[in-house]
């Protein structure tokens, strides 16, 4: 769990330092990465009260709540599948919406 927090911090730092590069990255890829992170937190059984402290913005909080609406899988393989399915779903929804 600590590694995920460090990865999120690095991810945020990269985007803060290089805004021109960040603007070139597909917005849906960013939401897919957030979805992946949030579902990983869920599948690791992190309490939502702790997870919400890592999130800012209403849209991001909504995505976190979507992840936490899903059940925690029992086996590692099923957890990985849940993370992948959720991030793919968010990416697909992002690409098909009228943002």
Express each pLDDT in 51-60 by its tens digit.
999 899 999 9
Rounded Cα–Cα distance for residues 73 and 81 (Å):
9
What average pLDDT does this structure show over 60-76?
97
> Measuring CA to CA, which residue among 51, 76, 45 is closest to residue 65?
51
What average pLDDT does this structure show over 3-19?
55
pTM above 0.85, yes or no: no
């Amino acid at each position: 769990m600590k590694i995920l927090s460090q990865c999120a911090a690095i991810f945020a730092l990269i985007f803060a330092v290089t805004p021109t590069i960040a603007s070139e990255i597909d917005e849906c890829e960013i939401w897919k990465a957030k979805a992946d992170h949030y579902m990983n937190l869920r599948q690791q059984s992190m309490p939502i009260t702790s997870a919400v402290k890592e999130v800012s913005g209403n849209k991001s909080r909504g995505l976190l709540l979507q992840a936490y609406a899903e059940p925690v899988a029992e086996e590692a393989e099923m957890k990985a599948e849940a993370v992948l399915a959720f991030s793919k779903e968010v990416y697909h929804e992002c690409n098909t919406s009228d943002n």
